[in-house]
Chain A
């Protein structure tokens, strides 16, 4: 009974904090005010102040976690809604995301290995370019830590957005296709919201790149891991 109450409080509190964080973000709109960051900071602060262990919070948190699977399935919906853009840009998007996926996975594995990190960390870091729920599923499958995977995805999202203008300038990526496929493959949803600021079309291409990249990375990661780790 006490557990059920704890769970309900955790779920409701998470939802309210998320709604509030969303509201703030839509007002200010900085990359650093992304709702996942502000919500996580507030919840961690509350847990630390009241000496509540993470495991207690997760009595309710795991209910929300349980919905990560259907949330990934739901990604088929935006892909389907953008099917006319998908059809028109399928070749540049597919080639771009496949090349990006191979380079992203291999560089992540090799650099982490070179720096001497243990396998469990490498497995958590490998899927960092894809949207969080898919990255967590891949990390879990490899034997990594889902929480770390979520954090690495966040770093990739924010870092990519912060550096995207300068990267595009230095490497002369100036076609809207290159810009939106690049940011969608490297920085998933956070990058996509940045692409949407440029135009509706760039937002659509970035959304497609994000979903396709998540699919490509899930398929090729096990092979690359077997080869490189």
Chain B
């Protein structure tokens, strides 16, 4: 029971950081989502030890481990778009797949090249 209370409290805290991220986005007129700004803020706070990881740990763990749960309702919305994927819409699947493979090859090749170079330099 105490555990559940902690999870809820930690999620409430994460929600607070999210709102703060939204506020910063709004005030500075940024085009980066407030949630991502919140994530960067939390990472900086944890790394600089301004915030003890114990303050968010239980809630963050729960959310990351169950990340899928939070976007199931949005995914179900596909039921209103079934006709989009009929006919020409099928091309979208091909485009997404092709572009995904390009990402995999380019990022994989790039990081491998950097890594191999570093390994050679340091023997």
Which chain B residues lie closer than 8 Å to A40 at the CB level? 72, 75-76, 78
Contacts of A77 in B (CB 8 A): 42, 46, 53, 56-57, 60-61, 64
What residues on A are CB-neighbors of B77 within 8 Å?
54, 58, 146-147, 150
- List CB contacts (< 8 Å) of A140-182 with chain B: 140-141, 145-148, 150-152, 154-156, 159-160, 163-164, 167-168, 171, 173-175, 177-179, 181-182
Majority SS of interface residues in chain B?
Answer: helix
In the assembly, what is the distance between CA of A32 and CA of B79, in Å? 19
Report the minimum CB–CB distance from A138 to chain B (whole Å). Answer: 6
User: Which residues of chain A from 168 to 206 have a CB within 8 Å of any chain B CB?
Assistant: 168, 171, 173-175, 177-179, 181-183, 185-187, 189
> B72 touching A18 by the CB < 8 A rule?
yes
Mark each residue of chain A from 52 to 70: 1 if its CB lies under 8 Å from any CB of chain B, else 0: 0010011011101101111
Q: List, sorted by A's number, 23 A–B pairs whose CB atoms are closer than 8 Å.
A: A54-B80, A61-B74, A68-B35, A69-B38, A70-B15, A70-B17, A76-B46, A77-B53, A95-B110, A100-B108, A108-B95, A137-B35, A137-B36, A147-B74, A147-B78, A151-B78, A163-B104, A178-B109, A178-B112, A186-B100, A189-B68, A215-B40, A219-B32
A74: B residues at CB distance < 8 A: 14, 39, 42, 56, 59-60, 63-64
**Contacting residues, chain A, for B47 (C-beta < 8 A):** 80, 83
B64: which A residues are within 8 A, CB to CB? 71, 74-75, 77-78
Known: A14-B73, A44-B76, A182-B104. 6 other contacts (CB 8 A): A39-B72, A54-B79, A67-B70, A104-B106, A137-B34, A150-B77
